[in-house]
Structure formats: structure tokens, C-alpha cells
Structure 1
Amino acid sequence: MLTNTKSPAYDLFSPEALANPYELYKQMRESDPVYYSESLGYWILTRYQDVEAALKDERLSADRSSLFIHQIGDLDIRLIQNFLQLIGNMMIEKDPPEHSRMRKLANQGFTTRALESWRSIIQQTTDRLLDQVQTQGYMDIVDDLSVPLPALIIAEIFGVPECDRANLIQWAADIGTLWGAPSGQNIEKLARKADAAAIQFTNLIQHLIEERRRQPGTDLISLLTIAYEAQGLDFAELPSLCILILNAGHLTTTDLIPNGVAALLTHPEQLQKLIAHPELMQSAVEEMIRYDSPAPFVFRIAKEEIVISDTTIPAGSVVALGLGAANHDPAKFTHPDQFDIARTPNEHLGFGPGVHYCLGAVLARMELAICFTTLLKRMPNLRFDVDRQAIPRHTSLVFKGFESLPILF
């Protein structure tokens, strides 16, 4: 068995790598598929077979509290105590059997009936946002569509009063930024914002839970509150489930929309093909998720010493599973760097297989299909705005998207 010792340093946080990491992933996959980054302090997997196996490996724990503590370096752990408490109760940070119990409960909020009732919310919200820019002939996909759309949808699904919605989304974003393995810059500022947001988010959700216990409705918090009450469970866990749903349903979809638009505009023949064949929309959505994954990494902690592809990973190590790199592995996908809206099969890892399969996958797919169908129907002449530059995001390994994506139509 080998232990990874001398390898070239791969800078995953360079501006070039954050904007377009796939060439770097290719180098790592070919030369160091199980790579230890001295600067980041964790192992990185980039091959499909390794990432898929690791997602299902019970020796790799989803409890990442040690990673968050490592991220803040020499800062006092009390700086993020409220953040750790909120995140620590998240289902995504739990292993079976605790995860299985929480997953069963969470699923009660995602019934077929509930999902179908959300379809009209998604359509109406999409139309309302596009109405606001229709006569302009230009828009920023991020500011005008991808940020407000999932935020408004989730707030509506949660039944959050309009006066609290902007705060709710901002708190979720602050929590998600620290949760998303940010670069070392301004880590103390990010930590303080995340901890303060954890307090405020928890207080708001607890207030809404109390209201729903007195007067339940048909919103998601009501459905989850009813499920918790019926089984006599601890309501202290519910804010953590809500932040998970909010971040899973909001942050990733916020990035999927501009990533998908950019992929279509960079491949105009695929855009025209989709306009001509709208029945390919579901297939196109899957290819958007594979081609430029909004969540290119998930993290695990080795509960014991494990061997991956002849490389020994010590117990306690942090392991980054490269979903984005795996989704471009030629050993799994034919011509992986081509964007093909009719690709089949397309067994991408964008939602992560195994017990931690994305809770909001059905909702995300529904949002994307409705959003892109409506966008292309109303604005078929979609094109890049050459006078205004697109700005990729440069802050996190876990979330990949755009700060700005100006387009004309």
C-alpha cells in the first residue's frame, strides 16, 4: 500500500481554477486521483469510481464538525458555537441510523401532493420575475432570476411572512458560506456572520413552529411540525432540517440556473436543439447538473484508516469527494467535456448517491425544468451581453456559480 507523499501542489482556490476547474481536475485525476493537499489539510478524490464508492462507504462519516473547527484555525471555537449547534443537528451531517430516522421524517414534507402544489408556485414566480425584465431586452441572470427565484419559492413553500423573507435568505447565505469550505480570506468575519445568522435563523424558525403548532397550514413547516408532534420528537432539531432544505433548495439552484444558461450559450447548437425539441428538457437539466455541477465537492471524515486505490488515508482525515471531477471522468462518460443535452445514460453524481442523496432533488429538477422552459419560450433569442462581463464566484469549493451573468434577449 502506498501513502501519498510527494505530489505537485494543485491550487484549487486560484481564480482560474475557481472559474473553470475542469482542466485542473483532469490533471489531478490522471496524476494524483487520491491527493493530499498540504495547504488545505485534506484528501481529494477525483475519479468517478472512487467518489461513487466513497459516497456509499460507511467508514467515511458525514459529521464534519472537525472540518469547521479546522477552518477557523487559531480562532476560539466559541466564535462558531451557535453555528456548530445548528449544523450539528442537520441530517446531512449525520450517519446511519440517526440519519435514517431523520430522513424518514424529512420525507414527510416532500409528498407527491406537496410537490405538485409547489409546481404552480414555481411557474407563477418565474413568470413574475421575467415580467419585470421582459421589455428591457437585457437582464442579469443572477440578480434578476437565479437569486430571487429559488429564494421566493422556498420562502413561499415554508410559509414565511414577506417581512421576514429577505432576512431568512440572507441568514441562510451567511450560514451556507461558512458551511461551504470558503478560502482562508476573512475567515473570522465569515465565522462571526455565520454564527450570528445561526442564532437569528433558529429564533425565526422556532417562532414559526410555535405558530404552526397552534394553527397548522399546508406549508412545509406545518407538514414537518405535524410529523414531529405526531411522533413526540424534539422540535430543537427542526431549525436544522429547515436550514438544510433551504440551503439545498436555494443555494444549489441559484447556481444551477446561471451555470445552465452559460452552458447553453457557450454551445449554441445545443441551445437551438433544445428550443426545437422541448421534449429534451429533462435530459438537458441532467446534463446541466453533470456538466457544471453547482456543488463540486462534499466532505467526509475517515472514522478509521482506509485504503482508496492503494493509498492509505489515516483515521480522522478530512476527505473531499470531487463530484464535479467525477462527472467529467472519461472512464465513466463518453466525451465528458462535451455538453450534450441528449446524453444517455447520464449517471452523474450531482445529487450524490447513497443514503445522503439530495433531499431536494425532485424540487430542484422541477424548478429547473419550469425555469428553462419558460425562459426559452419567452426569450428564445437569448445571448451573452458582450459589453458586460460575466463574473464567476471566487469564494468556495463546495458551491460553484456566478456573481453576475449579463445576457441580452
Structure 2
Amino acid sequence: MPVFELTGDPSDAFADEAYRALASAPPVARTPRGDYLITGHPEAVSILRSPHAEPRFDYPTAGSRWNRLAERFFVFLDGSTHRRLRSAFDTDLTRSAMSGDDGRIDTISAAHVEDFRARVEAGETADIIKDFAVPCTVEILASILGIDAAAVTTVVNLAIRIRSTGDEDREFLDRVAVELQRTAETLLYTGRFAGSLPNRIAAACDGDRELIHSTIALLLLAGFETSANLFGNLALALMWDPQRTRVLVDGGPSLLPTAVEELLRLHSPAHVVARVAREPIAAGDVVLPAEARIAVFLRLCNMDPRVFARPRQMNLHRTPNPHLAFSHGRHYCLGASLARLEIAAMLRALLPLLTRLKIDSSKTPKWTEQALGRSLVALPVRLEPRSS
């Protein structure tokens, strides 16, 4: 069973620096200012399952328009409001994904691969993220939610600009907030959503207009952005060592589920989630006091040798694989089932071409500047000629 060492792979310097500082830390570490850093998998599970660990919103643009919009994303909410909002999207995101969405995701992925193939076969350098992953995941989301794909063009353009903008660019993020609010108004109040989704959102938000705007903004941003980012990370990991792609091709469709889970464990764009303890919480041998501020480093938890044998190797056959790429507990990613389905469909469609794609050696892989979600800015590739 082949496994692959990750030594020498391109890496995210920002994340690497943070993780080097935590290399010798215990699973639960207390900082000089009293915060708690969690790098152990079992300890993270205890915290993320605890009813006393609430989401914490820490954005550097306090008081800005962006802050007022983002602090009401339902990933930062808890209690009854959080439960109502998750329930509002259950049919559209979770159940449609679990049913396979009637083959639409495979059909959309295959069509976008053909467009991408035509581009690279014409001799152009193409970007796997911008020219394949983003348009593909946008169309999938639009199809599932019943939105004309053209209606989310504004959001796509904003998301692409956010990718290359630092968290501290307050002026830009304020402009993003305004555009997202306008887009939410347009989609909700001009009948651009199909079915009962607008009514369910309004009911879940109890008519709170600002919360409605925040909910739609998060749905549109995270609904395609996370999957597109994830696919870019995975494509780079596979292409860096062509033998990894070959193992997937030779393993056939039956290998895809375990391979996707291993790639998620190693390369998810979600690196950290923040919590605050409202009551004391036991995590391993440590009891975190009430009001403790907590940072759970999901990526480091996915490297815990107590849970994952040889965690710094890529084993596309790894099972079981209880990674925390989608977090855990009541804030487990609502779109996890859809993301898995998307990634598998996109890989399945692109694999025959992926064996011939080469990373543009003139470009150094660069990651986005956001602290919480680490993903590639771009992944330019070219097509290697067929051997005669």
C-alpha cells in the first residue's frame, strides 16, 4: 500500500511559522495572556462537543460594516438562532448532497472539465482554481439553491478579491459588506431563489433584516469558496508528485472516498476555530476555566499521532480517518456532505487530465493572507504533450 512523504512539498509559510512555534506544545497549552491553544485531537473533540464552548468572533475590524455583517454569520452564533438557521438550509445543502443530487454535480463537473481541457489543449496556461474550481462550484451551488449562476457573479468577484486581501484592509472589507448586502437584497426580494428557501431564511431570522443579509452572504461566500479553495489545495498536493495521481487513477472509483478523506485531513483550508468557555470544560487532563478564550488548531489536531498512525504521511487508503477538517459537534460544517460530493465529482472528472497537467514552474505557489482559512491564491498549470 503506497504512502507518500510530504517532505519537499510546497508549503504555506504563514501557517508553517505558527505551527513551528507550537511543535513542542502539549495538547492543551496556556499562553502567558491566559488563552488556551488546543493541538490534541481528543482534547479538541471534548471542547467542540461541549455545550459550554461557544463560538468566538475575533475580527480585527471592530466596529466596521464588515464586522457588523460577519459577526452575525451563523457560524458565530449559538443556541436557538443557530439551530433555526441550520435547519433552514438542511434540505438544500445536506439532504440534496446525501442523495447524490440526481447526478447534477457529476454533469456540471464534467462540463467544466471539458471547458478547461479545451483551454489547456489550445496551449494556454490555465489556473485550476480560477478557470475550473471556482466556476464549477459556483454553478453547483446555484443549481442546488435554484439561483441563476449569473446572479452570483458579484459575489464571485468579491470573493476572488478577498482572497488576495489581508484581514486588516478595513476599507475594502467595508465595501465588500455593502456589496454583499445589496446582493442579498436582490436575490431575496426579486425572486431569484427557487422554492421556499427565502421564506425559511426569513422565518429562521425572525424577520431580522441584518441577520438575513448576513445569512445569505455567508451562504454565497462559503457555499462555493470553501470547496474551490479546498480543491486547489488538493490539486497541488496530487500534482506535486505524479505518483499520487497515478495511485488514484489505478485505484479506480472505489478509492476516491478514502482518498478524499485523507486529502481533507492534510489540506483542508480551515485551520483554526475559536471558542470561549461559558462554564469550566474538561479537555484531557486540563480543566479550562469559565470565560477562557480557546483556539482549536484543526490542522494540528489532524496530525495527532495518538489518533493517526504516521500522521505526516499521505496514505490515500487510510481508514478510519476521524479528521476534524469540517470541525466537530453542533458547529460541524453544514456543507460537509456537499463538499465531499463536489470534491469527489471534480476529481473524478479531472483525473484523466490531471495526469498530464504540470504546475507552472515559473510561479511560486502563494497562499491567501487570511489567518483562518488558508488556500492558494492561484494554481497555474500547463498541459504536457502526450508521449509518442
TM-score, normalised to structure 2's length? 0.82
Residue 211 of structure 1: aligned partner: 190
**SS state at 1:61 partner:** strand
> Could you tell which deviates more after superposition, 271-280 or 305-314?
305-314
State the AA in 2 paired with 1:250. Answer: F
Q: 2:182 matched to 1:199?
A: no
Residue 275 of structure 1: aligned partner: 249
Q: 1 CA distance for matches of 2:204 and 2:24?
A: 50
Q: Is the 8 A contact 2:128 2:379 kept in 1?
A: yes
Shift of residue 92 of structure 1? 0.9
Give the 3 Å change call, closer, same or farther, for CA 315–239 of structure 1 in structure 2: same
> Could you tell which deviates more after superposition, 197-206 or 24-33?
24-33
Q: Is the 8 A contact 1:129 1:149 kept in 2?
A: no
Of residues 236, 261, 285 in structure 1, which corresponds to 2:260? 285
> Could you tell which deviates more after superposition, 156-165 or 285-294?
156-165
Q: 2:76 matched to 1:93?
A: yes
Residue 50 of structure 1: aligned partner: 43
> Could you tell which deviates more after superposition, 231-240 or 100-109?
231-240
Per-residue Cα deviation, 1:162-208 (whole angstroms, up to 9, x for no partner): 66533222344667889xxx66xxx2xx2222222222211221222
Q: 2 CA distance for matches of 1:306 and 1:330?
A: 23
Q: Is the 8 A contact 2:185 2:213 kept in 1?
A: yes
Shift of residue 336 of structure 1? 0.8
CA RMSD of superposed structures (Å): 3.2
Residue 150 of structure 1: aligned partner: 137
Residue 224 of structure 1: aligned partner: 197
Per-residue Cα deviation, 1:59-106 (whole angstroms, up to 9, x for no partner): 221141xx22xx24xxxx43x1x3333223322111123322221122
**SS state at 1:301 partner:** strand
Shift of residue 159 of structure 1? 5.0
Shift of residue 396 of structure 1? 2.3
Residue 28 of structure 2: aligned partner: 34
State the AA in 1 paired with 2:272. Answer: F
> Could you tell which deviates more after superposition, 323-332 or 311-320?
311-320
Q: 2 CA distance for matches of 1:228 and 1:403?
A: 32
Residue 377 of structure 1: aligned partner: 352
Q: Is the 8 A contact 1:385 1:407 kept in 2?
A: yes
Q: 2:87 matched to 1:104?
A: yes
Of residues 24, 46, 62 in structure 1, which corresponds to 2:55? 62
Give the 3 Å change call, closer, same or farther, for CA 43–194 of structure 1 in structure 2: farther
Q: 1 CA distance for matches of 2:40 and 2:103?
A: 39
State the AA in 2 paired with 1:52. Answer: V
Shift of residue 26 of structure 1? 6.8
Per-residue Cα deviation, 1:188-238 (whole angstroms, up to 9, x for no partner): xx22222222222112212221222xxx764xxx44114346789426233
Residue 101 of structure 2: aligned partner: 115
**SS state at 1:363 partner:** helix
Q: 2 CA distance for matches of 1:32 and 1:132?
A: 49
Shift of residue 347 of structure 1? 1.0
Q: 2 CA distance for matches of 1:224 and 1:172?
A: 23
Q: 2:119 matched to 1:132?
A: yes
**SS state at 1:383 partner:** strand
Of residues 206, 218, 221 in structure 2, which corresponds to 1:244? 218
Q: Is the 8 A contact 2:81 2:205 kept in 1?
A: no
Residue 10 of structure 1: aligned partner: none
**SS state at 1:31 partner:** coil
Of residues 110, 115, 128 in structure 2, which corresponds to 1:141? 128
Give the 3 Å change call, closer, same or farther, for CA 243–229 of structure 1 in structure 2: closer
Of residues 9, 19, 29 in structure 2, which corresponds to 1:25? 19
Give the 3 Å change call, closer, same or farther, for CA 310–226 of structure 1 in structure 2: same
Residue 336 of structure 2: aligned partner: 361
Q: Is the 8 A contact 1:245 1:359 kept in 2?
A: no
Q: Percent identity?
A: 25
Q: 2 CA distance for matches of 1:140 and 1:58?
A: 43
Q: 2 CA distance for matches of 1:255 and 1:248?
A: 10
**SS state at 1:359 partner:** coil
State the AA in 2 paired with 1:198. Answer: A
Q: 1 CA distance for matches of 2:48 and 2:42?
A: 10
Shift of residue 17 of structure 1? 7.6
Q: 2:248 matched to 1:254?
A: no
Give the 3 Å change call, closer, same or farther, for CA 142–27 of structure 1 in structure 2: same
Q: 2 CA distance for matches of 1:229 and 1:199?
A: 20
Shift of residue 307 of structure 1? 5.5
**SS state at 2:273 partner:** strand
State the AA in 1 paired with 2:189. Answer: E
Residue 338 of structure 1: aligned partner: 313
Shift of residue 150 of structure 1? 2.4
Q: Is the 8 A contact 2:84 2:204 kept in 1?
A: no
Residue 295 of structure 2: aligned partner: 320
Shift of residue 348 of structure 1? 0.8
**SS state at 2:79 partner:** coil
